[in-house]
Structure 1
């Protein structure tokens, strides 16, 4: 079967969507399918292309039996509504053009967010007569509304109409959590329209048999505990709460380690500097291959999210990875993920 994944986010970028889609593409290729990934150039969230990708307009790679096609789009740091809108729309436009003039697959797997990837699906279905699956990893525009990032009633109404259009035209809507699936079903869709395919973890990569990262072990000098947050530093993640904990625990033997990048990182670094938090460390994003060792060396994996009803259905992939690596979790998420953690006795929850 000829399968095409369409996603703005893909390795060597590090993130939940990047890991999930690349692993799914690789495994489908191993099963004998002809797999192509249509994506952009790596730059998230810094807006900087890594070496090897600069000066290229388009690019084609072959990795693990998967053909990766990179198309041009607007590149900027993932900060501010207008910039993000430009990034998302430019990729949707560029990928739609590519779709028009290249051989069609048997099925297309579209990743959302960005919601605007749905335009690529419409081009595929209406013009190229190719069905698409619409994978909903986060509910948009609902997430932006509840976070307060989207307030204009006209833009909200238009976004919700687009959301329904993309769902309507999809062969199947895929949800990564049961909560997302229930939300979509409550919009009036039949049971057979919305399928559940959850996040997971590869136990051959994330394992308690992996050697601990030496740099993290170094932070444990004098008996310190290392509390780790690894992931995007975004407005949904309530990372200021970790700094508040660091302020209250500054006399204790506990080190707080942030690994990753994102629009909130600069503010977090500034706050830590102002408060003279000498036991708070910020590391740049690490390659995916290093993350199992970093998690293995941590004493606690901290996984926060904003206290919003929408996130009760969240099942962060970083939680699966931490548990597979043997790190107990401190989870501020209610709902599905918290139920799993409590049932397994592998951490504490809100």
Structure 2
């Protein structure tokens, strides 16, 4: 049985695409006869506060579904203050260094990036000829930070670029969740071994509900992180509600602003349902006609995992983010595309969709496509050959 360590900043009981991705990777490797261990901070995302069950602990060790999990101390914060956010990353990096000093580390290590600084710490202290370093790149920082407006091209940006290149250069294998990420890595290190590792979900989808045909409004739903990158607050202010209802699930930094907007506009058909457990959420989503995947700005390298999850549920998708996601939607006939950042075009696209057109046959077709083309186990079996 081969030992393998995964280092990540997100893991259940934290919610979101990042924690789900690493959980399924760890679980999938364990089922394939790997002895898997995970290092992660004490749960704090996305609230920026240590979860109640872990408060007061410096380290928490548990075994969950055959995977040994080491949860290390972190100065938790989701503050917009860059100094506090940096302090949070540094605190976890120091915890990692302490762990590396006093524990035996397996010969194969998978490191999640971003955060760049956490990945840099891990690569710097663990990279050696005796150890295989696999870097799992889910977003291209610092490029993504620049496109989001969180970073500026200055001396700090150059340092982050150096860290990014150091991480790539010292990794034996780089996993990228989009073709753009792979292309970016190859543009810097043409001979680097890479592997396209999409964020495919691994769950048994519930049976699709046959919705009664009526003349009701189109029901539109979003479920996920309510952060700046997703732009849900701006979205609800620009949607045309003449013929739609909009339902929202999730939490994040824009949650309070969204609630405030709803309180100030009680007549708008917007319904906020809070955060719901994933299995219950999947069943809840089946009652809606279509889902929307928005990005406030087109982010190079970004590939929203919601595409694969929603498709597995059979939900037609309105994609409003640009980039590689558009290609996935078009090539697999998963829904329709609105021009990124163009809310007039988005409203025009939505207005063309009639509730009676969203029937059981269409949803079953989307689900069948997802089960065939976005299969987690097939992808992981290919990856295991490289590990």
Could you tell me the TM-score, scaled by structure 2's length? 0.80
Q: Which of 335, 355, 362 is 1:347 aligned to?
A: 335
Q: CA deviation at 1:158?
A: 0.8
Paired residues of 1:258 and 1:282 also in contact (CA < 8 A): yes
Partner residue, 2:201: 201
Paired residues of 1:210 and 1:292 also in contact (CA < 8 A): no
Partner residue, 2:264: 274
Q: Structure 2 unaligned segments of length 5 or more: list them.
A: 339-387
Partner residue, 1:228: 221
Distance in 2 (CA, whole Å) between partners of 1:114 and 1:103 is: 24
> Which residues in structure 2 correspond to 1:180-199 (within 5 Å)?
180-187=181-188, 189-199=189-199
Question: 4+ residue stretches of structure 1 with deviation over 6 A?
Answer: none
Q: CA deviation at 1:152?
A: 5.6
Look up the SS of the partner of 1:331 in the other structure. strand
Partner residue, 1:54: 55
Distance in 2 (CA, whole Å) between partners of 1:175 and 1:78 is: 28
Aligned residues: 335
Q: Which of 311, 318, 324 is 2:306 aligned to?
A: 318
Look up the SS of the partner of 1:18 in the other structure. helix
Q: CA deviation at 1:234?
A: 1.6
CA RMSD of aligned residues (A): 2.4
Q: Given the alignment of the two structures, is residue 290 of structure 1 paired with residue 248 of structure 2, yes or no?
A: no
Paired residues of 1:100 and 1:123 also in contact (CA < 8 A): no
> Which residues in structure 2 correspond to 1:115-130 (within 5 Å)?
115-117=116-118, 118-125=120-127, 129-130=130-131
Q: Structure 1 unaligned segments of length 5 or more: list them.
A: none
Paired residues of 1:71 and 1:94 also in contact (CA < 8 A): yes
Q: CA deviation at 1:336?
A: 2.6
Partner deviation per Cα, 1:6-54 (whole Å, 9 max, x = no partner):
0110001111111111011011111111000100111111123333222
Distance in 2 (CA, whole Å) between partners of 1:259 and 1:268 is: 11
Could you tell me the TM-score, scaled by structure 1's length? 0.88
Q: Given the alignment of the two structures, is residue 301 of structure 1 paired with residue 291 of structure 2, yes or no?
A: yes
Give the direction of change, closer, same or farther, for the CA distance of 1:305–1:70 in structure 2 (3 Å limit): same
Distance in 2 (CA, whole Å) between partners of 1:26 and 1:227 is: 33
Distance in 2 (CA, whole Å) between partners of 1:49 and 1:284 is: 20
Look up the SS of the partner of 2:283 in the other structure. helix
Look up the SS of the partner of 2:325 in the other structure. helix
Q: Which of 231, 251, 255 is 1:238 aligned to?
A: 231
Give the direction of change, closer, same or farther, for the CA distance of 1:78–1:330 in structure 2 (3 Å limit): farther
